[in-house]
């Protein structure tokens, strides 16, 4: 054996690597294998198109065997599987059964020393070029199938509770002629090697938008040759085997930069690459099948990896949605901002009001069923308030910003039925009107309640507009708006909410911060910092809502940059209480939430799952199945429990 010693230094890794090159796995002569993956205790899982599927110990002896021919392989260890009514820990693997070319999930039963078939996927209408597994932070396990024509099918195979769930999640556009794939579960990155071009990183989460980042490219644009077609993700990095240069390239996955190249001169024709990380020994075991020599090469690489460097300081908790609205009529950036109208006489008959910035206003019941919609323009943000004095009566209203003419579109709400009616518009002096919220000042002995509309523009300007209404001789409502205050942020804002109880506004400056200032017209117009954009609140800073609880109030803000929601105290010093993400609920066919623009939250007892209140969020990317955007409903109790709130 030849040994080479390499020292690598970076902010994430400090490696003193003693590489044992060209060591070979000794397999039983009765076993052939086109793909081998290393497992714990120096054992291996092997698949072959003739010899079948074998679980092999370090001496090459079979521990278990399936005679089913198979090809391609990816493994995840210690996965909780609900098997025969009990939750058990298995090592599981994705493979493709032959001759049908049917993707399957198998498990290694350590106690019974047998290989179990857990699930089969439908046979695709294309030749499967390669497969890889992905485990999300909520513990859903999914499988990617590569079609070299330029698509990856993404399938759920095990849900977060270990139940077998074979459901197609989405089609992901990828590079044509893609040869292999591997997922870094911690960073949710899908690495794909494209023939003759290079290696790309995609978002592995089902909620990820299409798009890719270069890891490395073939010369002259990068350091690879045109035969770099094998990838294997490792904790904090990714391995790429370059067949022409006969080198194993080691990249760090946070900055996608090359750390080192390891010569593998004895490899003739590499076909499969697998790697396993042993955290106790802090080393990688790398196995590569050499089609030219019909043998496997094994490489042991010391690899210091600290999980704390890839996990946020404030842990992200997972919750799932309880309901979702019907989807919008067409794909594209449409659904934007919700509001919640509370039926005070019958809270279970309350309404969720959502904007469609390509069409108008949509109204839903608490089960997510559409009950009304209005084709009244490109509406962006919406809010509601109660008891607006109009003549001798009091009305509830919903108001939305209309980007067609920079106006406020106003709708009255029937307090008995929740039915909306378009009532008129109020012009604003803003250009490129955008975000919006409303505020009502408290009544006093000397003054009636005043209602304010607070729109903002892309320029950073906010206007506080006092809304009043009169009746003409035909009893038609005439709406007036008077600007009583202006305030500003330096760059583009959108999210805005008023905490009426504490006379405070919270406003989001998308790339900068969440700010606060007094809500009264006489208050200072200078915003004060609540939370700067960064690792906790990841830009864009989008929707903002206030949960007005009996004991405590909380601010919820959309951290769009990492598809999470930050929850903090609504009073100074605005302590952050936690972060939640809304994940896939496969059992109820409700996907997770990503790219959220607007949100609203209420502490009202709506009954059932929503007896402690309701969070409504816009979902910018709907899957399971793929469909236009919609809104998701989440019980506040789930958030309270996840973050241990008061």
Q: Which residues contact 143 (CB under 8 A, 6 or more apart)?
A: 94, 103, 105, 121, 131, 132, 133, 134, 154, 155, 157
Averaged pLDDT for residues 342-361: 97
Q: What is the pLDDT of residue 25?
A: 55
pLDDT digits (tens, 9 = 90+) for 92-131: 999 999 999 999 999 999 888 899 999 999 999 999 999 9
Q: Does domain 25-265 have CATH number 2.120.10.30?
A: yes
Q: What is the pLDDT of residue 2?
A: 32
Structure token pair of residue 520: 């009264």
Bridging pattern class, strands 541-548 and 553-559: antiparallel
Mean pLDDT of the chain: 92
Checking if the pLDDT of 554 tops 50, the result is yes
Averaged pLDDT for residues 171-191: 96
Are the C-beta atoms of residues 54 and 32 closer than 8 Å to each other? no
Averaged pLDDT for residues 185-212: 94
Give me the residue label for tokens 């391609």: 72
Confidence of residue 305 (pLDDT cuts 50, 70, 90): confident
Q: What is the pLDDT of residue 32?
A: 72
Confidence of residue 60 (pLDDT cuts 50, 70, 90): confident
Rounded Cα distance between 195 and 630, Å, is 37
Checking if the pLDDT of 42 tops 60, the result is yes
Averaged pLDDT for residues 155-176: 96
Rounded Cα distance between 336 and 461, Å, is 20
Averaged pLDDT for residues 319-327: 98
Structure token pair of residue 427: 């012009």
Burial of 633: CB neighbours in 10 Å, binned 0-12, 13-18, 19+: buried
* 385 SS3 class: strand
Give how far the C-alpha of residue 98 lies from the chain's centroid of Cα atoms, to the nearest Å. Answer: 34
Checking if the pLDDT of 19 tops 70, the result is no
What dotted CATH number matches 316-643?
2.120.10.30
Q: What is the pLDDT of residue 110?
A: 85
Question: For residue 566, which of 314, 335, 324, 337 has the smallest C-alpha distance?
Answer: 314
pLDDT digits (tens, 9 = 90+) for 227-252: 999 999 999 999 999 999 999 999 99
Domains 25-265 and 316-643 share a fold: yes
pLDDT digits (tens, 9 = 90+) for 133-145: 999 999 999 999 9
Confidence of residue 24 (pLDDT cuts 50, 70, 90): low
Burial of 100: CB neighbours in 10 Å, binned 0-12, 13-18, 19+: exposed
Confidence of residue 6 (pLDDT cuts 50, 70, 90): very low
Averaged pLDDT for residues 9-29: 41
**Whole-model pTM?**
0.89
Confidence of residue 358 (pLDDT cuts 50, 70, 90): very high
Question: For residue 576, which of 623, 604, 536 has the smallest C-alpha distance?
Answer: 536
Structure token pair of residue 227: 């035969």
Q: Which residues contact 270 (CB under 8 A, 6 or more apart)?
A: 230, 241, 243, 288, 289, 290, 291
Q: What is the pLDDT of residue 385?
A: 98
Checking if the pLDDT of 4 tops 70, the result is no
Q: What is the pLDDT of residue 31?
A: 56
Beta carbons within 10 angstroms of residue 628's beta carbon:
15
Question: Which of 162-166, 304-308, 617-621 bottoms out in mean pLDDT, i.e. has the lowest?
Answer: 304-308
Question: For residue 430, which of 479, 480, 464, 466 has the smallest C-alpha distance?
Answer: 464
Question: Which of 336-340, 397-401, 409-413, 473-477 bottoms out in mean pLDDT, i.e. has the lowest?
Answer: 473-477
Q: Which residues contact 476 (CB under 8 A, 6 or more apart)?
A: none
CA distance to 35, 485, 487, 504, 515, per residue, from 527 (Å)? 60, 13, 8, 11, 6
Beta bridge partners of 424: 410
Q: What is the pLDDT of residue 575?
A: 97
Rounded Cα distance between 518 and 538, Å, is 25
pLDDT digits (tens, 9 = 90+) for 482-541: 999 999 999 999 999 999 999 999 999 999 999 999 999 999 999 999 999 999 999 999
pLDDT digits (tens, 9 = 90+) for 254-288: 888 999 999 998 898 999 999 999 999 999 999 99
Checking if the pLDDT of 598 tops 70, the result is yes
Confidence of residue 12 (pLDDT cuts 50, 70, 90): very low
Q: What is the pLDDT of residue 391?
A: 87
CA angle 407, 408, 412 (to 5 degrees): 145
Residue with more model confidence, 210 or 37: 37
pLDDT digits (tens, 9 = 90+) for 382-411: 999 999 989 888 999 999 999 999 999 999
Confidence of residue 20 (pLDDT cuts 50, 70, 90): very low
Share of the chain above pLDDT 70, in %: 93
**DSSP state letter for 348:** G
Backbone angles phi, psi at 566, to 5 degrees: -95, 130
Q: What residue spans define the domains of the chain?
A: 25-265, 316-643
Are the C-beta atoms of residues 25 and 39 closer than 8 Å to each other? no
Q: Is 494 left (phi over 0), alpha (psi -120 to 50) or beta?
A: alpha
DSSP states of 186-255:
TTTEEEEEETTTEEEEEE-STTPPS-EEEEEEBTTSSSB-TTEEEEEEETTEEEEEETTTTEEEEEETTT
Averaged pLDDT for residues 3-31: 40
């Amino acid at each position: 054996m030849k040994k080479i010693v390499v020292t690598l230094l970076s902010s994430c890794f400090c490696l003193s690597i003693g590489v044992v090159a060209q060591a070979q796995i000794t397999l039983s002569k009765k076993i052939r294998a086109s793909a081998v993956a290393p497992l714990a205790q120096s054992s291996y899982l092997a698949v072959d198109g003739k010899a079948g599927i074998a679980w092999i110990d370090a001496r090459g002896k079979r521990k278990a065997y399936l005679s089913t021919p198979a090809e391609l392989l990816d493994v995840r260890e210690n996965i909780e599987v609900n098997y025969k009514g009990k939750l058990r820990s298995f090592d599981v693997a994705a493979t493709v059964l032959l001759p049908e070319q049917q993707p399957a999930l198998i498990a290694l039963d350590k106690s019974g020393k047998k290989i179990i078939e857990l699930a089969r996927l439908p046979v695709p209408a294309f030749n499967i070029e390669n497969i890889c597994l992905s485990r999300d932070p909520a513990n859903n396990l999914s499988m990617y199938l590569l079609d070299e024509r330029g698509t990856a099918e993404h399938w759920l195979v095990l849900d977060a509770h270990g139940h077998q769930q074979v459901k197609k999640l989405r089609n992901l556009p990828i590079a044509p002629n893609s040869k292999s794939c591997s997922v870094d579960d911690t960073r949710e990155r899908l690495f794909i090697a494209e023939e003759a071009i290079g290696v790309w990183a995609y978002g592995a989460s089902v909620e990820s938008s299409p798009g890719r980042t270069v890891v490395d490219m073939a010369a002259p644009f990068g350091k690879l040759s045109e035969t770099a077609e094998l990838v294997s993700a490792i904790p904090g990095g990714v391995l790429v085997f370059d067949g022409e240069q006969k080198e194993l390239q080691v990249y760090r996955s946070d900055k996608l930069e090359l750390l080192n190249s390891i010569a593998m001169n004895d490899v003739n024709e590499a076909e499969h690459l697998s790697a396993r990380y042993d955290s106790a020994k802090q080393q990688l075991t790398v196995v590569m099948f050499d089609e030219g020599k019909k043998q496997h090469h094994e490489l042991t690489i010391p690899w210091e990896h600290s999980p704390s460097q890839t996990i946020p300081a404030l842990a992200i908790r997972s919750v799932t949605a309880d309901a979702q609205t019907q989807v919008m009529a067409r794909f594209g950036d449409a659904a934007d901002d919700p509001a919640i109208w509370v039926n005070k006489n019958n809270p279970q008959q309350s309404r969720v009001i959502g904007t469609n910035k390509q069409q108008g206003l949509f109204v839903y019941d608490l089960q997510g069923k559409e009950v009304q919609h209005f084709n009244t323009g490109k509406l962006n943000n919406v809010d509601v308030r109660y008891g607006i004095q109009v003549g001798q009566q009091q009305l509830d209203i919903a108001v939305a910003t209309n980007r067609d003419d920079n106006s406020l579109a106003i709708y009255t709400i029937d307090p008995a039925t929740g039915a909306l009616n378009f009532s008129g518009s109020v012009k604003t002096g803003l250009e490129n009107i955008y975000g919006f919220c409303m505020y009502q000042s408290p009544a006093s002995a000397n003054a009636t309640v005043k209602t304010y509309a607070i729109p903002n523009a892309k320029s950073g300007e906010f206007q506080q507009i006092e809304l009043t209404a009169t009746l003409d001789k035909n009893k038609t409502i005439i709406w007036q708006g008077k600007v009583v205050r202006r305030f500003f942020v330096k760059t583009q804002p959108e999210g805005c909410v008023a905490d009426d109880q504490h006379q405070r506004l919270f406003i989001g400056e998308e790339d900068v911060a969440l700010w606060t200032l007094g809500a009264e017209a006489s208050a200072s117009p200078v915003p004060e910092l609540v939370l700067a954009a960064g690792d906790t609140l990841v830009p864009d800073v989008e929707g903002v809502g206030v949960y007005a609880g009996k004991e405590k109030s909380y601010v919820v803000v959309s951290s769009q940059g990492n598809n999470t929601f930050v929850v903090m105290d609504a009073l100074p010093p605005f302590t952050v209480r936690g972060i939640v993400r809304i994940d896939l609920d496969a059992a109820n066919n409700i996907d997770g939430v990503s790219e959220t623009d607007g949100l609203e939250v209420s502490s009202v007892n709506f009954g059932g799952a929503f007896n402690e209140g309701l969070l409504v969020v816009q979902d910018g990317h709907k899957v399971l199945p793929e469909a236009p955007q919609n809104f998701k409903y989440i019980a506040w109790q789930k958030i309270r429990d996840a973050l241990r709130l008061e």
